[in-house]
Structure 1
Amino acid sequence: MSRRLSEVGSTAAVGEHRIGDLPDDLLAYLMSFLPSRDSVRTSVLARRWRSLWRSVPALRLEDDTRGDGGPRSKFVDELLRRRHPTPLNVCDICSDYDTFHCEEAFTRIKPWLRYAFSHDVRALRVVAGSLTTNLVLVSSHLKRVELCFMQFKGSVNFTGCRVLDVLEMKGCNILASILCQSVRHLTIKGGCFDDKIRRRISAPNLISLKLAPSQGLTPLLDSMPSLLTASVESFDQQYHYCFDVPCEGCDRQARFPVVLEGLSAATNLELTTDDEHSPILETLTLLLDFQTHEKWHVMETYGIYDPKEQSPLSKHLKVVKIIRSSTKEDVIVDRILKILCAHGVPSEQIDIQ
């Protein structure tokens, strides 16, 4: 028993020094996953660790919760002053903002953003309730951007980021058009678009799109000839009620296809809406969440569905998935099956879940 305990103790003693055997650049990389404040704290571990934090290729910063440039802001300013000019793989800025000081908060983190861009940051994440009039980023190194709980007015322009590949906007209020020429993967989730002016998304090189804001006018989508996969929720409030009470001046059939025109090249489309027009569509997913089946009756009454008309479905269609939220929608499913059958979709291509 005593021999086993001594063996365990010997093994533990050896293990204690294993991390110290790693080269400095690998230690700095491992430290890049820590909040910057914790990274600096490693300087007290031993003499070798005193300066390692200066070469960590990441900044993970927290803004002061008050609007007075308190201790957190002073720490960040000192960190940036003493840090070595190592290129940044990641810059992550989180502002635990006070709504009364959101303008001051964004003003305070602007120098941090400038520092990140001047050190060739590749991935940027900003979580802040800051109000910005314009967002124009210019970088030849930035590949990924994630913006959370921000509000944008004026322009949201990423055309100066020539290698930007991924753009994610979560919980943002977007009161501006979005320009992102190089982006291939775009996600907009939560938050809202302008409810007075229909904004535009220009992203001609997209191959995947996820669009699911909570409210506002559906944006106009410019042509996306390389688009492969798209998941889009129609959230136009005026369109939501169009079947129950026709909106004054609402030419739905003329306007809605224009809104979604940019999706016409998609080969895999998940569209939570009532219209679909994609001539080379291969997979169509229908998510059903209707309270009653009367809406479908109204759709037919208004002449939106007419089996005699030429089929709007793609000749390349291979699979139709119908996903129900409850068995109450069986009547609706039956109507959908009749519509699909009338448009030449065979039953073996339909998957009901």
Structure 2
Amino acid sequence: MRTQVAIVGAGPSGLLLGALLAKAGIDAVIVEQRSAEYVLGRIRAGVLEQVTVDLLDEVGVGERMHREGLKHDGFELCFGGARHRIDLYGLTGGKRVMVYGQTEVTRDLMNARHAAGLPTIYEADNVAIHGWDTDRPSVTYRKGDETHTIECDFIAGCDGFHGVCRASIPPAKLQTFEKVYPFGWLGVLSRTPPVSHELIYANHERGFALCSMRSHTLSRYYVQCSLDDRVEQWSDEMFWDELRARLDPEAAAKLVTGPSIEKSIAPLRSFVTEPMRFGRLFLAGDAAHIVPPTGAKGLNLAATDVGLLGHALIEHYHEKSSAGIDHYSARALRRVWKAERFSWWFTTLMHKFPETGAFGQRMQQAELEYLVGSQAARTTMAENYVGLPLEG
């Protein structure tokens, strides 16, 4: 098989890149190790920056998002038993975020690709990349009893943190930066109305909590937990009791509980690989970087990566210019590091860190009080939360 761009990974970043290229008339084949059902079963982020919304509109899959998604003009910080609103819309001159689950983004992109008859190979075993440092790269995989080869001009590694693309790079050719946080998030999805029409981020002496949602009838809640905790240790009743304890009295009283649809524990880490280009191989999304979910940047960074990469590849094929692909890594990493900084800062501000003790808690309290009392500080937070410009 021959194509112009071989995309490894059929998550939202791989599918979005495929859609951008298809719109420009550039051939791409997507190879995915898992089944389509498995990919759709991943429960992930649900807050979209305007840049991500614009990219989804650009490839023509935004109709359902605009119809069913929830536009949020702000969110609330909860500490000291009270809530304080961050007015995103007012502080950023009319910018907002869209609450629309990653599963739904993936479904929309997947359905559009299927309807267009574009090739996606699911359940591909033993995926491997070859010749990325030559002018004849290729991707191989097994399907059934046969090994298949996709010859291509470029390979896009959109296959996540544990994928084959970054793992295929000799360690001497890349530099990695990592911070592992000493806690995780216990998350529960429930078919209950959200406790608030906007997100609530809570700083409490018992630990962090987040009240989020996927729709008017589907809620997503999180509490900070120990890395030693196991899902089996947490009954639904225990979770709801712990969440109530970390909220202000009004939110705790309004909280509607119910059976959990899904329950999981996710560790938190910050991770960046440099560079994001190796010859004819490009890394995008979680293959290149991970952010803690506090700032809702993971999916949005993946989208902006492939926005930059897609437009660079279009420039290469349509204008015979290599400027975009030559500068892809540097352009993407500028935005990545700013998002990493914001996610690290917000995580540090809102969570209980065992090693900081009473002094660290007082510093958090002082910073939160300064933040809600200073328009300049709130503006900085709002600008980062809604998302910096694509070239930000």
**Structure of greater relative contact order (alpha carbons < 8 Å, 6+ residues apart):** 2
What's the TM-score, normalizing by structure 1? 0.22
Higher helix share: 2
What's the TM-score, normalizing by structure 2? 0.20
**Larger Rg belongs to:** 1
